[in-house]
């Protein structure tokens, strides 16, 4: 299996970085091929701009997604995007590893998504959800945060964690066709003792080695919608019964 880990933490000694390192070691020990894009270490540029295109479809007005499609067709995307896109297309499993910043990814990882999830290659037209460009690949989000589990249940003050990250799990990863696995969450990290951190790392190692048999989260299928993306009558009937 080919694994691509996108890691976004500014501190190499962080617990998030320890999760990344353990993942690399565990996958490698088990005979998998691993690539890591350490975004801060790379100095990855997160800003989507006209500089991303060596040749413009419309030099007078930039519609970024349309310029991406033109860049894919002509092979004129910027070199850093092309390199990351090749890693993404070649992988079987994508891992996004990051600390939770304001209920989302760090800006540098959002910028990686903005620039590398390229229209015309990853999505476009009706190529989304189970017809997306990354169909057949899986994705796993691993997150560190300061919150505690009881804050994120159905009765918790923040609600379910998956709902808080819906924009990423569904709106990005599932939308692009990836089979999205349940996130791995390292709770309360800044405030726990060494023993608790070791326990989390052990759970992370065990999780990595059990991924093959996991059932992905459920997201929409285009088979349940007509060509105008209205729900099929059979789908509506099933949800109301």
Mean per-residue pLDDT pooled into runs of 10, the chain (241 residues): 98 97 98 98 98 96 97 96 98 98 96 97 94 97 94 89 93 98 96 95 98 95 93 67 54
C-alpha–C-alpha distance, residues 219 and 169, integer Å = 9
Structural domains of the chain, count: 1
**Which domain range does residue 227 map to?**
2-240
Task: Confirm if 144 and 100 have CB atoms less than 8 A apart.
Answer: yes
The model carries a pTM of: 0.94
**Helical ranges in 148-222 per DSSP H:** 161-164, 166-168, 194-208
Find the CATH number of the domain harbouring 155: 3.40.50.360
pLDDT for the residue 162: 87
């Amino acid at each position: 299996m080919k694994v691509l880990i996108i890691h976004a933490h500014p501190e190499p000694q962080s617990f998030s970085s320890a999760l990344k390192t353990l993942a690399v070691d565990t996958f490698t020990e088990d005979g998998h091929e691993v690539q890591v894009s350490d975004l801060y270490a790379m100095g990855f540029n997160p800003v989507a701009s006209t500089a991303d295109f060596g040749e413009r479809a419309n030099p007078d007005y930039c519609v970024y997604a349309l310029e991406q499609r033109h860049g894919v067709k002509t092979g004129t995307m910027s070199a850093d995007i092309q390199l990351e896109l090749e890693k993404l297309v070649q992988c079987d499993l994508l891992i996004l590893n990051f600390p939770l910043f304001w209920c989302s990814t760090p800006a540098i990882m959002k910028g990686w998504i903005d620039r590398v999830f390229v229209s015309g290659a990853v999505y476009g037209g009706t190529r989304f959800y189970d017809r997306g460009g990354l169909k057949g690949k899986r994705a796993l989000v691993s997150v560190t945060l300061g919150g505690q589990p009881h804050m994120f249940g159905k009765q918790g003050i923040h609600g379910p964690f998956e709902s808080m990250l819906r924009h990423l799990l569904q709106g990005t990863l599932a939308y692009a066709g990836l089979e999205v696995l349940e996130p791995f969450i390292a709770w309360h990290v800044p405030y726990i003792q060494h023993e608790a951190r070791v326990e989390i790392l052990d759970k992370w190692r065990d999780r990595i080695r059990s991924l093959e048999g996991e059932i992905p989260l459920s997201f929409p299928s285009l088979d349940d919608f007509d060509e105008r993306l209205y729900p099929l009558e059979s789908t509506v009937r099933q949800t109301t019964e």
